[in-house]
Amino acid sequence: MANEYESWEDRQRRETRNHLIKVSAGWMVVAAMIVAICFASGRNVEGGIACAPGKAKEMGFELAGYTGYNLSPILGGMVWYNLRKVPDNGIVYEAAFAPWKGVCMVYDMRALDAIKP
């Protein structure tokens, strides 16, 4: 807080210092959030790879091919596979697998070639 005897230069220095402290604290919070998201997003890729075959078989599918993975800050790593129904109905499906609290979950399942020209 300024006092009545503070010079204009001293007031400017104090306000500049306070502003720099606030800006630095803000950037530290942003950096901490980015680091937290990066560490959280890389988890469970191996878990998705491990749980996918069992979950696919439980749902009546077999894995037809690995298509990749993506990292999500909330769900962690999700592993994408092409699936084929057992017995084969000629339609290829795609789904993402990820473990969530010890349970293998399936996300975004869709038929890739259900309607053919």
pLDDT of residue 67: 93
The answer to whether residue 27 scores a pLDDT higher than 90 is yes
Kindly indicate the confidence band of residue 84, based on its pLDDT and cuts at 50, 70 and 90: very high
Please write the tens of the pLDDT for every residue from 51-82.
999 999 999 999 999 999 887 766 678 899 99
Please write the tens of the pLDDT for every residue from 30-49.
998 877 766 665 567 888 89
Q: What is the CA radius of gyration of the chain?
A: 26
* pTM score, whole prediction: 0.63
From edge to edge, which strands make up the β-sheet containing 92-100? 61-72, 76-85, 92-100, 103-111
What percentage of the chain has pLDDT greater than the value 70?
Answer: 86
> Positive or negative CA dihedral for 51, 56, 59, 60?
negative
**Of 72, 74, 66, 71, whose CA–CA distance to 49 is shortest?**
66
pLDDT of residue 43: 66
Mean of the pLDDT values across residues 1-15? 80
pLDDT of residue 21: 92
Q: Are 98 and 76 in contact (CB under 8 A)?
A: yes
Strand blocks (E) in the chain? 61-72, 76-85, 92-100, 103-111
What's the rounded Cα separation, in Å, for the pair 44 and 80?
13
Q: Are 82 and 93 in contact (CB under 8 A)?
A: yes
Residue ranges of domains in the chain:
1-41, 45-111
Kindly indicate the confidence band of residue 3, based on its pLDDT and cuts at 50, 70 and 90: low
